[in-house]
Amino acid sequence: MIIVMRPKTVQSEIEKIKRKMKSLGCEIHESKGQNYHLLGLVGDTSKIDPNQIQANRNVEKLIFVQEPYKKVNRLFHPEDTCISVNDRTIGGDGFSIIAGPCSVESEEQIVGIAKEIKEIGASFLRGGAYKPRTSPYSFQGLMDEGLDLLKTARRETGLPIVTELMSPYLIEKFVEDVDVIQIGARNMQNFDLLKEVGKTNKPILLKRGMSATIEELLMAAEYIMSEGNERIILCERGIRTFEKYTRNTLDISAIPIIKKLSHLPVIVDPSHAAGLWWLVEPLAKAAVAVGADGLMIEVHNDPANALCDGQQSIKPEKLRSLVSSIKDIAKLVGKEIK
């Protein structure tokens, strides 16, 4: 941490800060330029609250050198983390496809889709039971019944199920029924929920908030890990920008950056990123080529009658061509779909 003092700060004020920092156990490296006076803090800075320093009226700004996250940081954990879910693994040299409808709608629908995507090569079934919707007047999901139908689909196909948790009231139910608990983009900084799922031992699929920086995504993962749960899969799903042709802008660079900063696996959701079904395949190819560990794709047998997000869902037959077109790209980057 480097403290930049306001120009013309009197020496006595600088000494005051120095004394305080020293009393907190830091060593100080001072550097005096023509206009600015810098104090570099070395040692265990963990007891120092940056807010207190920034609040000092003689401090111009505070510069952070070290990343604020620890447990997710690759610096302290150089090997890739792989997450085991039942007999599957996410991360490493495998490439995982999570597919399924936006919402679970009926047994026929979810079981039918599950069978098709399994046969095509997906290894996880996704489907919304409790749905976060922008409007209170939109379909909110089948709720408990939806969860039961997902379990039926799992029984019929063996595919582990991934579904979104919105309320802490349902955590016990999810721990019992679900294989991977998804935290949605809108709840990425619902710190209360992060802490709660951090206390479970379930794999967590953590989606990047639509205006969250990469650092904030990693800090959200740090929240979960700091409670003890280290089984986290990160998911890039598009960020909010000025461009309005797509619903969000897929931040493809986030994949190699997260790989550099953290040891956690990271997948891409091209369906939500674009919001347009015809963009799913090209973005999926880009995601594989750039080095992602998997894809999360919305698949619906009848998009035009889907109860939500039909415009971004693809049909199973389209998933088949997508999987076939990414298979060889995956190989070229040292991954295998499994």
Tell me: does residue 12 bind a copy of itself (CB under 8 A): no
Read off the amino acid at residue 81.
T
Tell me: does residue 79 bind a copy of itself (CB under 8 A): no
Which lies closer to a copy of itself via its Cβ, residue 89 or residue 226?
226
Say if CB 338 and CB 95 are below 8 A apart.
yes
DSSP code of residue 226? H
The span of 53-61, 86-94, 145-153, 172-180 binding a copy of itself (CB under 8 A) equals 53-61
Strand duo 27-32 + 124-126: pairing: unpaired
Tell me: does residue 78 bind a copy of itself (CB under 8 A): no
For residue 153, report the phi and psi dihedrals to the nearest 5 degrees.
Answer: -60, -40
Q: Which of 10, 119, 333, 336 binds a copy of itself (CB under 8 A)?
A: 333
Tell me: does residue 10 bind a copy of itself (CB under 8 A): no
Give me the least distance between CB of 278 and a copy of itself, in Å please. 8
Q: Which of 11, 12, 23, 46 binds a copy of itself (CB under 8 A)?
A: 46
Say if CB 98 and CB 122 are below 8 A apart.
yes
**CA-to-CA separations, 100 to 77, 224, 299, in angstroms, rounded:** 33, 26, 5
Residues numbered 243 to 302 that lie near a copy of itself (CB under 8 A) are 243-246, 249-257, 260, 273-274, 277-279, 282-283, 285-291, 300
Give me the least distance between CB of 144 and a copy of itself, in Å please. 15
Place of tokens 């990123």: 273
Binding mask 120-159 for a copy of itself (x = CB under 8 A): ------------xxxxxxxx--------------------
Q: Which of 46, 39, 48 is nearest to 16 (CA)?
A: 39
CA distance 214 to 147: 31
Read off the amino acid at residue 20.
K
Tell me: does residue 15 bind a copy of itself (CB under 8 A): no
Q: Which of 9, 14, 18, 40 binds a copy of itself (CB under 8 A)?
A: 40
3-state SS, residue 113 = helix
